[in-house]
Amino acid sequence: MHDLLLTKLAKEPRVAKRSNYQQRVIRDYYKNRDTIAVQKLQELVGELYLAEGKKRAGVWKRIVGHLEAAGMAKARIEHLQKKDDPTLLAHAVQQLAAQG
């Protein structure tokens, strides 16, 4: 009997109940995700100016993720990454900020 109960408990996923406050925070995060992405991108532009070598590649990886979250087209993201020009990226981020 004990083994049967343990097997049943192991198969059932445990879903944590969220409070109303937690649900509101999560909902607001996803509602403002593009704005948050643009703010992060503005910070990362400065980091890109200063980064070199492996660190620069890591900054670009984060930039790409935020550009996708902000809704930028994949072709444009690839173009920006290929050019590797912080000034060009800064202009693109300005355009995203103006849209939002």
The residue ranges of every structural domain in the chain are 2-99
Cα gap 82→42, rounded to integer Å: 19
Question: Inter-axis angle of helices 53-70 and 33-50, to 10 degrees?
Answer: 160
Q: Residue written as tokens 């849209």?
A: 99
47-98 pLDDT, tens digit per residue, is 999 999 999 999 999 999 999 988 899 999 999 999 999 999 999 999 988 9
**Burial class of 99 by CB neighbour count within 10 A (0 to 12, 13 to 18, 19+):** exposed
Please tell me the pTM assigned to this model: 0.70
* CA distances, 75 to each of 1, 28, 56 (Å): 59, 29, 20
24-41 pLDDT, tens digit per residue, is 999 988 888 888 888 999
